[in-house]
């Protein structure tokens, strides 16, 4: 007997991050910060070990009138000025597709709204094999099955395995919903090339001959891409989608404005089929109304104020941290190459992930902790959060990890 619905698992969330974060903190309390390397935290930290909260964003928020913070949003789909500014900021002039923007509580809201409203219970969502854990949790809560695609073929995106996953799912249902978290993929740090995106669009169009196709492109980390706005060029490729394809771009202020707790983001829905676009907007609007009702008005007002009145300052401040992130990841990647520590192809972003099978991973993860190095286990790997490691802590880390790995592998 259970009071909750039968279709959900009652197992507690397996939180692979917070338990290890706690262990790292205990180690610091016992042995001192100098001894401990905490590479668990997935938010951007500065060189002094403090969470980065961009001044441009939070000064703007604090200058807002109390009534702006107090108010409901003006629409369930988000304030019109926010929706317009999100579209302009994210697409950066790289799309001519008909579109709608729906404000959501972070990227989480946009991703879950898309997979839960585009698939019926019992259908299958296509997810990357190495991915942000919430995708799988969402699928479970929405009573969906999961088909995974393997991410890499050597150092390149594994288009063949994505095609296999699509074919497997097409054999059993009339629609595809595919999640691609790019650029700055979590947890590998891979970013696809424009050519790889062209291959994806060609695959989507081939599938669209017989099936409806929804691509969910999760861009949570895009504003920390090392090429900055050049990272948005690939959106042009979406102009070639077939009528039977919709792209939902999931955007978040969590990383872009270091506003994790403000719970603000957006789903940008793009498709050539205006009837389908209208239907998606209507359903997404009802989903919003039925679940979170409306989005944090202050967060939306802050986004608009920053982009309309303080854009240069915001870009300059954010880019300072993009450069810091690059400095840290350059050190780790270069040293990993020197000592032969294997990782998934890394291009940019918050995390580097060492590649190994799950048996080695478990033993390695334990051995690292015995040596005061704290990381996060992911499927087939160990995630190193360069976003929260200082330059000093990053130096020499790859060698230490390789030495420990050699003892367990």
Residue 222 contacts residue 192 (beta carbons within 8 Å): no
**Mask for 333-362, x = binds ligand PLP (CB under 6 A):** ------------------------------
- The verdict on 258 binding ligand PLP (CB under 6 A) reads no
Nearer to ligand PLP, 37 or 186 (CB): 186
**Mask for 181-220, x = binds ligand PLP (CB under 6 A):** x----x-------------------------------x-x
Residue 218 beta carbon to ligand PLP: minimum distance, rounded to whole angstroms: 5
**Mask for 264-283, x = binds ligand PLP (CB under 6 A):** -x------------------
Check residue 233 and report its DSSP letter. G
CA 210 – CA 38 distance, rounded (Å): 49
CA 266 – CA 294 distance, rounded (Å): 12
Query: Distances from the Cα of 26 to the Cαs of 41, 164, 324, 388, in angstroms?
Result: 15, 45, 27, 18
Residue nearest to ligand PLP (CB): 106
**Mask for 90-109, x = binds ligand PLP (CB under 6 A):** ----------------xxx-
**Residue count, binding to ligand PLP (CB under 6 A):** 13
- The verdict on 252 binding ligand PLP (CB under 6 A) reads yes
**Neighbour-count burial for 390-407, b at 16+ CB within 10 Å, e otherwise:** eeebbeebbebbbebbee
Residue 52 contacts residue 277 (beta carbons within 8 Å): no
Of 45, 33, 29, 19, residue with least CA distance to 386: 45
CA 251 – CA 109 distance, rounded (Å): 10
Residue 49 beta carbon to ligand PLP: minimum distance, rounded to whole angstroms: 20
Residue 106 beta carbon to ligand PLP: minimum distance, rounded to whole angstroms: 3
CA 160 – CA 279 distance, rounded (Å): 32
Stretch of residues binding ligand PLP (CB under 6 A), selected from 72-80, 84-92, 252-260, 382-390:
252-260
Positions touching ligand PLP (CB under 6 A) are 42, 106-108, 132, 181, 186, 218, 220, 252, 254, 260, 265
């Amino acid at each position: 007997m259970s009071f909750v619905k039968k279709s959900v698992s009652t197992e507690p969330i397996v939180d692979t991050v917070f338990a290890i974060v706690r262990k790292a903190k205990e180690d610091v309390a016992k042995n001192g910060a100098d001894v401990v390397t905490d590479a668990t935290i997935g938010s951007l930290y500065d060189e002094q070990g403090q969470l980065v909260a961009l001044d441009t964003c939070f000064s703007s928020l604090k200058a807002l009138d109390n009534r702006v913070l107090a108010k409901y949003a003006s629409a369930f789909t988000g304030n019109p000025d926010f929706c317009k500014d999100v579209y302009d900021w994210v697409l950066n002039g790289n799309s001519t597709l008909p579109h709608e923007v729906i404000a959501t509580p972070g990227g989480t809201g946009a991703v879950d709204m898309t997979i839960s409203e585009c698939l019926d219970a019992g259908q299958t969502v296509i997810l990357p094999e190495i991915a942000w854990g919430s995708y799988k949790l969402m699928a479970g809560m929405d009573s969906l099955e999961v088909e995974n695609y393997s991410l890499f073929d050597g150092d390149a995106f594994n288009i063949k395995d994505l095609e296999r996953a699509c074919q497997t799912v097409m054999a059993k249902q009339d629609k595809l919903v595919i999640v691609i978290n790019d650029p700055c993929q979590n947890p590998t740090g891979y970013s696809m090339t424009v050519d790889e995106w062209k291959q994806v669009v060609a695959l989507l169009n081939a599938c669209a001959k017989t099936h409806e196709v929804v691509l969910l492109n999760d861009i949570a980390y895009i504003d920390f891409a090392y090429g900055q706005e050049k990272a948005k060029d690939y959106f042009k490729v979406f102009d070639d989608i077939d009528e039977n394809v919709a792209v939902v771009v999931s955007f978040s202020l969590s990383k872009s404005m270091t506003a994790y707790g403000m719970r603000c983001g957006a789903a940008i829905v793009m498709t050539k089929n205006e009837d389908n676009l209208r239907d998606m907007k209507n359903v997404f609007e009802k989903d919003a109304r039925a679940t979170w009702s409306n989005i944090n008005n202050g967060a939306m007002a802050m986004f608009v104020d920053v982009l309309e009145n303080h854009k240069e300052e915001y870009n300059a401040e954010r880019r300072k941290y993009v450069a810091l992130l690059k400095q840290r990841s350059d050190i780790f990647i270069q040293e990993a190459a020197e000592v032969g520590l294997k990782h998934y192809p890394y291009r940019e972003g918050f995390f580097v992930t060492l590649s190994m099978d799950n048996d080695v991973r478990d033993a390695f993860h334990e051995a690292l902790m015995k040596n005061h190095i704290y990381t996060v286990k992911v499927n087939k790997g160990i995630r190193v959060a360069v976003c929260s490691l200082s330059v000093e802590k990053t130096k020499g880390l790859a060698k230490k990890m390789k030495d420990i790995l050699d003892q367990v592998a």
